[in-house]
Amino acid sequence: MKILLFFVLLSAISLPGYTQVKDYQQEMLSLYKSINKYFYIDSLGYYKETAVPEKDGRPVSYLWPLCALLQANNEMETVMNTGSLLMPAFKIIQKYHTDLSPASAYASYAVPLGGGSRFYDDNQWIGITAMDVYKRTKDERWLLTGKEIYRFMMTGYDTVAGGGLYWQEGNKSSKNTCSNGPGIILAAQLYQATKEQSYLDTALLLFKWVNANLKSAAGLYYDNIKTATYAVDKKQYSYNTGAMLQAAVYLYECTNDKNYLQQATAIADSSVSFFLANNTFKDDYWFSAVLLRSYQHLLKYNKNTKYMLAFKNGVDEAINNNKNANGLMGKKHILNLVAQGGMLEMLARFAWLQQQHIF
């Protein structure tokens, strides 16, 4: 009987479509080690954008990949129950900080190396992570960071095209879902932390504007609207839909209005078949990680695991088929730091879910 059971199990493992349970925490630690080995420049104290020399000769990473790494490190701290991973990355990000008028914020490139433009979405991703850390640790420094970034993002608001936030400081050509979706999340997080009504008012205002101007008939979200012509760029990315989905969940938490939870579920239903078909990710790993954040948040209130299971299949497929000999993501070529950070965040989130015996 034991021999028969052994062969039954052995045959099951070889069945098409069967995947053994992943140790997501081990995968997470392995990728984290490889990222630091191949992307961190110890002599400069910065990360680089790619594991190969930059074509334009820039020696270090832009801000956006560090935003991805910061959020991933926060999720790792949650899994590991440690406080040693986040601050090293945040200290590097401080080298991008500027005190320029009209509000202090983070530049797109390291200030000691020349600096760069300031983007509202880059800053919002930092603010969102800061508020996640504040919720977890109650360390007031992170709340101050969230408030600082909120002040900066609101300098990008006006009533052109009916409202909404611009994407890039000083560039008033478009208003984008990628700067308004995370803006809603940050405002809602600040409302939850402070109970100041102005934050909730902002979140509600931006949510209404995005849905009026950038939501597709299928329930996904377009990229941007041009302020000169009101023409809509109809590209659809998983991070835009993910940000708006999570924004709806936050607004449900802030208002107890079940309409927002119903909207969140509808967005999830529309997104899963569009962005996660055939057990693969339609978009870059970091774009997908933002969608995963929203699914994980929604799981608190909607216990249907179909969204998370679809995501798990994509993560498992990536681990099985797109990890190279250096332990990084990208078999054909090493992917950039943004993508590595996105996969690191996804692995950390699934490691936490595995700890909770959800998967």
**pLDDT tens sequence across 254-269:** 999 999 999 999 999 9
pLDDT at res. 52: 74
Into how many domains does the chain fold? 1
Predicted confidence at residue 8, as pLDDT, reads: 31
pLDDT at 241 over 50: yes
Residue 53: which domain range? Answer: 21-355
Domain presence at residue 3: no
Q: What CA–CA distances, in Å, run from 193 to 91, 132, 138, 182, 200?
A: 24, 10, 10, 16, 11
3-state SS class at 126: helix
Within-domain flag for 224: yes
Residue 2 domain-assigned (yes or no): no
**For residue 43, which amino acid is it?**
S
Confirm whether 13 is domain-assigned: no
Provide the pLDDT for residue 217: 97
In a domain, 10, yes or no: no
Q: Report whether pLDDT(82) > 60.
A: yes
In a domain, 8, yes or no: no
Tell me what the pLDDT averaged over the chain comes to.
93
Which tokens go with 121? 């979405």
Query: Is pLDDT of 273 > 90?
Result: yes
pTM above 0.75, yes or no: yes
Burial of 48 (0-12, 13-18, 19+ CB in 10 A): buried
Q: What is the pLDDT of residue 55?
A: 61
Tell whether the torsion through CA atoms of 282, 288, 293 and 294 is positive or negative.
negative
Is 15 within a domain? no
Instruction: Give the CA dihedral 41, 47, 53, 57, nearest 10 degrees.
Output: -110
Q: What is the predicted pLDDT for the residue at 22?
A: 87
Measured from the Cβ of residue 173, the count of other Cβ atoms closer than 10 Å reads 12
Task: Determine the Cα–Cα distance for residues 12 and 21; give it in Å rounded to an integer.
Answer: 13
Residue 1: inside a domain: no
Q: What CATH number is given to the structural domain containing 283?
A: 1.50.10.20
Q: Which of 43-57, 148-162, 195-209 has the lowest mean pLDDT?
A: 43-57
pLDDT for 300-318, tens place per residue?
999 999 999 999 999 999 9
